[in-house]
Every structure is written in structure tokens, then in C-alpha cells.
A and B are shown apart, each in its own frame.
Chain A
């Protein structure tokens, strides 16, 4: 360490130590009233991790129920509620909130800004998301209108019509589903607007669009995509509420409405939503893979362009979720081809990450372990996606466990692995403490073993014809042994997640001091202390390349000499 050193005027900001200890009430008040993007980012992330534990517990209950044929661990009704709540929680309360936590914390730091463009809107967006999530789970208490415990939504996270009509879903459970997502959607839109505005207007001197970290590029794209896609979802939920409360017939097939219209509305949101979730995983990969490979990212302009390309194409693939609905063969062919098209920009990214690693001096610290697994698993997820994009193949496997395995490969194998990698990477910046590498490696190996036991195996019962959303099955189907393995894997993943939670708690209390730049990294967030001061930068940063900290560390060989 410290073979090459250089004194830099004002490269590190130090906040004066607090004059006195604050009471718990004062601390709570400071977090509740905060408009600081870093605190809000932490709030988003902690909120997301909490719901991850809740949604994970629901998944474990589902897997216990399916571990053997004719099991009665959960009743059919409860099973339906659990898979509905699991899906809704994981997509809206875990994925969206954790990625916005990362964005909130890191985007201003990475572009040399002191805060988000709209700090108060940022606080409002977080709290409205939190209240929306709370409202969803309040349905367990209030779903029957008079606190009939256990009356949560049971219509699936996609809430297909006409199942959501009052005739088939009496009581208020479905209303809670729609209304909670409308409320949290307000927060999502607020945050997306904020990230777009921050990226456009708050960059420091010298940070042109083509010098922005790819992390920021990706979140800029994600936020634009979010603004486009949340709109039809909210519109559909308002229509559903009108159907249920005001006698509307938008989705009532017996009164001239269309159940397929709901599917179009939902999936026009739902498929780009997958990219809203996976592009942040790419963002994390774009930061971690180069740093731990000791090489600059390969093909920066192509990576930025591919991100925009993926977002653009993702808006035109929604009906591949509807191949079995009965669309025309021309529609099926169009959506088959458009879905396959996503493979091109995605392939560019995969190859560029591989090219970044190629010939690098790779350090397999815990963040890099997670991101290496992400790379391999995302490739597999993409390949099964291409298989499912072929409509005749999809006809055979639609609504089977093969589809479940595919999208969990994307959302767990890629997104969750990337999130864990990102948490290990930026936790020292946010807290000043390193997460334990030893426990981290236990976490990684347990999680990857559990993941592959679960989701590799899950493809098989899918091919054997096991439909999704069934609460049990007969022993003569031949699905039992496969499901047992899947469930064991799920439990191992649950244990691994608890190991991670333990690591965070222990490291917060007794972790090794991180210092400002524990990974020898290159972007602006590492030029501040860990955790950063309220104002982020005492001196407004000025950047001359895509890797400003590299330029400071290597004045004899700065990047700006090589960047066109």
C-alpha cells in the first residue's frame, strides 16, 4: 500500500465530530425530517432489505408447502395470498426500493453534486413509498373491512381480470393491492423525476455526458423508463378501482369490457419493469467489475448506447407474456422477433464485461464474487428468455414452473446477486465500516449453492408440465423429488440471507475501519470520507475524464490523454 502517493489539496472532506451525543428521539427525528440524499438512500435500502426478509419468508412458506405432494402446511387460500404478496413485495417493495436506495445515495456523489435536484420531493417520494408498502400489508388486517385477519390480496402479482372483479374477489383485499401500488407508484415517479433532473442539471464541472460513470447513465435510463411505464400501470389500477367501486366495466367482459385489455395495460408496464429492475444490476456491474479487474470498462460508449437500446426495445416486447391469449400469428411473430432483438444490446454488455475482465488482475473479494456469479447467471437467464420468446415453445411452457425459473434467474440470479455485490462494495462508503470478508464469503457460497439448487432444478418440473400457482399436486406426477430439492435450495438461500443480515449488524458495530477509498477505486464518491459529510464535497470537484480518481492517483498517466 502507498507505494505511489500524491498530496491533493482538499481531496478529502472531514466533518467536525459531533459536539455531544444525541438522544434516540433526536436521532429518530433527524431521520424522519431528513432531506439529505444519503440518509434517504440508506432509508430506501434498509426499507428494501426489511421487505426482502418479509418476502423471503413468504417464499420459504410457499416452498415448504410445495416440498412434497398433498401437503397441508398452507391452506389453498393462504397459499394464494402468499404467492401474491411475495411477488408484489419483491417487485415493488424490494427491487424498486433497493435500486432507488442505491441511486439516491450514489448518483449525487458520483456526479459531484451536493444533493438531489429536489431534496424535499426526494423525502416525500420515500415516505409515500413506505406508506404504500405498509398499506399493502395492512390488508392482512383490514382486507375484509373489519380487521378480518388473513385477508390479503390473492389474485397474483399480475392481478388478471376478471378474477379481480367484485364477483370473484369480494371484500377489500384486491382494493388494498391496487391502492397501495397507486400510492407507492407516486413515490416511484417522484424519485424517477428527481434522478432525471439531477443527472441532467447537477453534474460538476467537466462531467460531460460521456464522462458520467456508467452507473449514472444506467439510472438515468432506468428513471426515464420508469416514468414511461408506471403511467399505464397506475391508469389500469385506477380503472380497476372504478370497476370495483363506481360500477365501471373496463375489464368486465360481460358488459363489453375486455379482460385482455388489463393484460395489455399490465404488461406494457410489467415487461419494461423487468428492465427497470435489471438495468440497475448492470449499473452495479459497470462499477464493480472494472475496479476488481484493475482495468477501465471496455467499450464505454457502446455500453451507454446499449443501455439506451435495451430500454427502447423493452417498450416493444410486452405481448410475449400473452402468446397464449389468442393474438394473431403476425402479432406473435412480431413480439417473438422484438423479444429476440433485446439479445443484441444485452450481448454487447455481456461481451464488454468479459472483455473488461480479460487480461485484468482480478481480485475475488466478495463484491467481485457476487458480480462474477451475476455475469454467468444473467447469461443463462437470457438464454432461457430467448427460448421463451419463441411463441410455439412458450405455448408449451406458458404458466409452467419453467417460466418461474426463468424470471427468478433474472431477478435473483442477476439482480439480487448484483445488489448483494453492490452492498458489499458501497457499505464501507455509507457506514465507514467494512463488511466482514469471511462472513461475506460464507454468505456468497451458501447463497449461490441455494440459488442453483432452487432455480436450476425448477426448470425440470416446468418442462414436466407443473403449472405455476397451484397449492399442491398429486404424487403420481413425478414432480415431488424435484420440488423437494427446490425447497431445500430455497431454505439455504434464506439461511444465506440471514447470514448477510448478521454480517451487516456485526460489521456496523465491530467492523474494520474502511477509510475513504478501501477498494482503490476511481469514481468521485471515493474522494470523500466514509461516511461522506453532509455537503459531500468541501471543494466542488472538477473532472477531466471518466475516472477522476485514477487521474489523481496516476498524474503521470491520466485517462484524459486517452479519452477522445
Chain B
């Protein structure tokens, strides 16, 4: 970036487009052309004539040569002033600037954590189904029923029986949601202070269970009436602890935040490497 100087070309005269009445004539023609549809055909004809005249006049304004006004410019020295005489900036020498987090978990660890959490959630959910309704399909259909359009006011017995569509939809919802939450864990655990598994695996599931509990009555009252919130919380904590554990025990990677954009994009070339980064990388090895 080079220093800016307030220099520029100055002309004694500038050419600006000359004022013209053709645009307003054409606009009136267009408006009258449409107005004639609901009033009188004569108006439409008049409108078309005016619009054509406007268009022709307009073309002649710019072809073969544009009609312009020659305006004399006047330049004066002036004082650019400001009342803001003090400029405060946070002084951060470049060598001391913090780029946090320095290390983070790879995206893959979030996906692994989400997948592990998804598998770990299954036993408590199935146990709840067996204890509450004597059917492992009950919690599966509760989840899957939200996405099956042709289920209308199912009975408890319906929900407790096997439905392939319910199983497929529940599987899709469960896996996608788990992967997304796992990704969130991967992104957020480095930012959490001490005891990430306690915060990510226990506190966060309690918070989102509370949120879902508070809003489910509005979002889906039918589902709200059938959820056993205690079991729901147990399965969420199971997910949180397992996903958090998998993520927290993954190998961290350097974030590359302070590298030049070209390096972060994967370009290779001489002079791109920053010595500090190379040294930092060596230290970590």
C-alpha cells in the first residue's frame, strides 16, 4: 500500500450531459400507453406516439455525438479541518499481536466427535423406549415422525411399532444434527476455559435441553406432550460427554491465522513462508 496524495487531474472545463426534455416525454408516453388500457384507446395511441418521439429524441441526444454542457470549474485552496485532534489507537506491535486460538482441533475431529456422540446417545434412548413403552421404536418414531408428512395424529401404539420411513428419517435427522453439533464442539472447545468436557459435555447440553423444553410447547406441542425430559437430558449429556471427549483428545493443529492469505489458500512459492511461523512450527514438533 503506497501513501495517498490528494492529487488528481484538473480540467478548466468539464463536459456534463446536457439537460433534455426527452426522458420526461418518453416517461409520459409509457404511462399514457398503459393508462389507455383502462380508459380510452386514444390515450394508448397518444402514449405510443409520445414514447416513440421521446425515444427518437433521446437517441438523437446521444447519437452520433452526445449533447453536453461545457461547465467551467473553479478550484480553491481551502482548509480541511477537524475537531478531533486526538487520535487514540490501541498500539499492538506486530510481533506481539495475539492471534487466538493459536491451535485448534481439525474439522475432522468435530465430525468424529459428533458421530461418536450420535452412537453413544442410542443406548439411553432405546432403554427409555423399552422402559416407557416396551418398544425400542418409540423414541425413533418420535424423532422421525416430525419429518414424515403422512403421519396424522398417531396413537401411542402406532409410534411404538416399526416404521421404515420413520427409521430412515430419524436416522437422517439424528446423524445430521449430531455432525453439526460435533462441528460446533470442534470449533468451540478451544475457546472454552478449563475443563472443556465439563462445560461442553454437561453445561451446554443442560442449557440447550432447557431451551428446547421451554420452546417445544410452541414449536411442536404434540411432540412436547410425549417427550420424557429427564431421559432427554440423560441422552444429551451422554452425547455431550462423548463428543467432547473425542474432540478434546484429538491432535490439535496450528491455525495459520497469521500466515499470509496465499499460504492459507495453499499456494506454495519462495518468500511466502514467514520465519516466525516456521520457527513456531518447529517448536511444536
Residues of A within 8 A of B (CB): 1-16, 30, 32-36, 114-115, 119-121, 123-124, 126-128, 130-132, 134-135, 138, 142, 145, 172, 175-176, 179, 182-183, 186-187, 205-206, 241, 245, 294, 328-330, 333, 390, 392-393, 516-517, 520, 527, 533-535, 537-545, 548-549, 551-554, 557-558, 560-563
Contact = CB atoms under 8 A, between A and B. Distances in A.
Contacts of B147: 329-330, 333
A542 B83 contact: no
Interface stretch (B68-76, B127-135, B205-213, B274-282): B68-76
A242 B130 CA distance: 62
Contacts of B73: 13, 533, 535, 538
Given A33-B24, A114-B14, A329-B149, A560 B3 contact: yes
Contact of A123 (B23, B28, B72): B23
A128 to B, nearest CB: 4
B38 interface: yes
B221 to A, nearest CB: 7
Nearest to A187: B27
Which 8 pairs between the two chains have the least Cβ-Cβ distance? A544-B4, A127-B27, A131-B31, A124-B23, A123-B23, A33-B19, A128-B27, A12-B78
Contacts of A294: 84
A175 B34 CA distance: 10
B82 A554 contact: yes
Contacts of A533: 73-74
A206 B18 CA distance: 28
Given A119-B17, A534-B71, 13 more contacts: A2-B81, A4-B82, A4-B85, A9-B6, A11-B80, A120-B17, A124-B26, A127-B27, A131-B27, A179-B35, A539-B9, A541-B8, A542-B8
B58 interface: yes
Contacts of B72: 16
B18 to A, nearest CB: 8
Contacts of A11: 6, 78, 80
B34 A135 contact: yes
Interface of B: 1-10, 14, 16-24, 26-28, 30-31, 34-35, 37-39, 58, 61-62, 69, 71-85, 87, 89, 147, 149, 218-221
B6 A552 contact: yes
Contacts of A33: 19-21, 24
A534 B74 CA distance: 11
Contact of A142 (B8, B34, B39, B84): B39
B9 to A, nearest CB: 5
B20 A543 contact: no
Given A120-B17, A551-B4, A390 B79 contact: no
Given A35-B20, A119-B17, A563 B1 contact: yes
Which of the listed residues B17, B62, B73, B80 has the most CB atoms from chain A within 10 Å of its own CB?
Answer: B80
Contact of B80 (A15, A32, A121, A553): A553
Nearest to A131: B31
A537 B14 CA distance: 10
15 contacts: A4-B85, A10-B8, A10-B10, A11-B80, A30-B19, A33-B19, A35-B19, A120-B58, A124-B24, A132-B31, A179-B37, A183-B31, A542-B5, A542-B6, A560-B1
A245 B31 contact: no
B20 A120 contact: yes
Nearest to B87: A557
A558 B1 CA distance: 12
Given A35-B17, A120-B62, A554-B87, A14 B76 contact: yes
A558 B4 contact: yes
Contacts of A128: 27, 30-31
Contact of B218 (A126, A134, A392, A544): A392
A563 B2 CA distance: 11
Given A542-B4, A544-B1, A560-B3, A12 B76 contact: yes
Contact of B79 (A7, A333, A535, A558): A7
Nearest to B5: A542
B16 A544 contact: no
Contacts of A8: 6, 77-80
A539 B4 contact: no
Contacts of A5: 79-81
